[in-house]
Amino acid sequence: MPTRLPTTLHVYPFSRLVNARPSRWEKMLAEMEADRDRAYVYYQPMREAVVRLCASGGQDRERIVAKLASDAGRIRPGRGQDPVRDNLKAFDAFTQFFLPRIGSFKRSLLRQDQEGGIDFEGIRITGLPHFIAEDRRGHLRYVFLYPSAWDKDDLNAYLQVLAEIIRVRFDAKPASMWCMNLRTGKTHRWRSGIQTRNRCVEAARHYRRLAG
């Protein structure tokens, strides 16, 4: 186990600890920051392209797609990965299934300061949704673009904590979070659950004890 753990964690690595066996924590704690960076960078071209498209009102798609492909082409792929293909596929899913459901784009959160974070059971957890928009009914929504295939329990833990971040940082209800599943083209239906909440609390308290 690392001799000194950071007391601030991003929501992504924290969510991976929530459902992990204690016997795996040592290895996960040693690798989780590098894993977060790899996971974030892989689909960053798609996220940037989605925000540009929304901010432009759906215009200039050809230029936006060209930049997406160029940026994704600079990502070093892992075994069996194709960053250009995967980013374009996720982007196309967004434009086909979700763009028509957005009433107006409000602002990007991709490059917002995330260092402040929120207090969660004695540790600081950082992270934000990807952008803010109004849906066609005029409801303000905090959008999380989800192109991956995470374990169900890990995803629920992530969304549980992200909903708490939205509540604290934006004074918004969990129902305002919009998880766009870019693999299925459907909104991921999620509701806060007592069991998941308790697991998140227990993981945070255990991490706090380890961090000293």
Pairwise CA distance, residues 96 & 12, whole Å: 27
Give the pLDDT confidence score for residue 36 in this predicted structure. 62
- Average pLDDT (94-115) is 90
pLDDT of residue 79: 87
**pLDDT tens-place string over residues 140-193:** 999 999 999 999 999 999 999 999 999 999 999 999 999 999 999 999 988 888
HSE-CB for 80 with a 13 A CA cutoff: 0
Residue 1 pLDDT: 46
Give the mean pLDDT of 55-67: 94
Average pLDDT of the chain is: 90
Number of Cβ atoms within 10 Å of the Cβ of 104: 12
**pTM for the predicted model, two decimal places:** 0.92
